[in-house]
Amino acid sequence: MADIARLSGVSKPTVSRVLNGSPLVAEETREKVLAVAREHDYRINRTAQRLRQTRSDSIGVVLDLGSYRSGRIADPFVFDLLAGVSDALAANNLDLMLTPPRRRESAGFYHDQIAARMVDGFIFLGQGVRDPVLRELAGHDLPFVVWGAVDPDEPYCAVGSDNLLGGRLAAAHFARMGRRNWLFVGDTAQSEVRLRFEGLENGAADSPEPVSLERLRCSEMSYTSTYREVAGYLRELPAPDAVFAYSDTAAMAIVAAFRQAGLEAPRDYALVGYNNLPQSAHFTPTLTTIEQQTQVAGAMLVDKLLEAIGGGRPGSALLPTRLILRET
């Protein structure tokens, strides 16, 4: 910048003003400086700018990528979310630092990142099982928002869809189909999944006919492990006539495992998935599923985070959820 100033015959502050679009620069001066800067292909050093302005203009996004490796992911759904967040950050001129979760999760790490001015705040995509960490972060008053289960009792801002309603919708579907032996497949240690189970449970309790409700924990939440665990379940226990899965990918694994046991949906069992993947509409059988509305999620998360960084206390938000009725 000193060079550009010298070559333009002005001072550094003037160059800075021109490059930052300050209105208090004479038109003639502006043009001169811009011409010189362009000629020498000059760019402001963002690191210096950040140091001076004492903010990083970048946001940490925490996504459990590790669990995706070798097909260990539950569902590609989370990447939809990531795409939305990426767009919204770009629209606000914020950089996205992708942060892999720690092996031993602790609030300290996230605190350090902010203390070291690496990022101005965090967006957690999926609270997973790190609820205690999030509560601690909220206690330190660090700016962050979460995609996941929305619980008014939590001390932090969360955006998510209505998982309890999702469970109720699945229950209503099973009841309509006259099913009595329900199975829930999913890891209820995760808050979002737990809410879906509770919704299903509520629906079972409200059912006019008595209903039995079993639960199959799939701690790993991948296609392969879901397939294995469901196949094992069918070998040991009586087959249910209705299954609610934590994702459409899991629902596809369930179809494969049931088929292995000679059972087909919807003839032998009803099946409800989650997320409404494009594939689900063309799968054989076509999958009944719960749709989460994620188009606005990214922008909402970013808006709320910016509010938090500005010192505000953004409220949580619940997004619409609906049943997509298909063959299963």
Given phi > 0 = left and psi -120 to 50 = alpha, else beta, which region is 327? alpha
The site partner of 175 among DNA, its own copies, none (C-beta below 5 to 8 Å per kind) is none
Question: Residue 56 Cβ, how far from its own copies at the closest point, in Å?
Answer: 7
Q: Which one of 26, 35, 83, 129 is in contact with its own copies (CB under 8 A)?
A: 83
Question: Residue 2 Cβ, how far from DNA at the closest point, in Å?
Answer: 7
Please identify, among the stretches 48-56, 147-155, 183-191, 199-207, the one whose residues bind its own copies according to the rule CB under 8 A. 48-56
Give me the sign of the Cα torsion angle 281, 286, 287, 290: positive
Question: Residue 311 Cβ, how far from DNA at the closest point, in Å?
Answer: 17
DSSP collapsed to 3 states, 274-308: ECCCHHHHCCCCCCEEEEECCCCHHHHHHHHHHHH
Binding-site size, DNA (CB under 7 A):
28
55 in contact with DNA (CB under 7 A):
no
Q: Which one of 14, 127, 247, 294 is in contact with DNA (CB under 7 A)?
A: 14
What is d(CA 166, CA 201) in angstroms, rounded to the nearest whole number? 11
What is d(CA 279, CA 290) in angstroms, rounded to the nearest whole number? 14
Q: Which of 248, 229, 196, 306 is nearest to 80 (CA)?
A: 248
Q: Which one of 9, 13, 35, 90 is in contact with its own copies (CB under 8 A)?
A: 90
45 in contact with DNA (CB under 7 A):
yes
Q: Which one of 21, 38, 41, 52 is in contact with DNA (CB under 7 A)?
A: 52
Cβ atoms of residues 316 and 159 within 8 Å = yes
Phi, psi angles (nearest 5°) of residue 119: -140, 160
54 in contact with DNA (CB under 7 A):
yes
Residue with smaller CB distance to its own copies, 61 or 171: 61
Q: Which one of 80, 105, 198, 220 is in contact with its own copies (CB under 8 A)?
A: 80
Number of residues assigned to the chain: 328
Structure tokens at 256: 């494969």
CA atoms within 13 A on the CB side of 108: 5
Helix (H) or strand (E) holding 201: helix 191-206
Cβ atoms of residues 134 and 127 within 8 Å = yes
Please identify, among the stretches 9-17, 18-26, 55-63, 236-244, the one whose residues bind its own copies according to the rule CB under 8 A. 55-63
- Residues lying near its own copies in the complex (CB under 8 A): 41, 43-48, 50-51, 56, 58, 61, 65-66, 68-71, 73, 76, 79-80, 82-84, 86-87, 90, 95-100, 112, 115-118, 222-224, 227, 249, 252-253, 256-257, 259, 277-279, 282-284, 295
- Residues lying near DNA in the complex (CB under 7 A): 1-2, 9-14, 16-17, 19-20, 23-29, 43-45, 48-49, 51-54
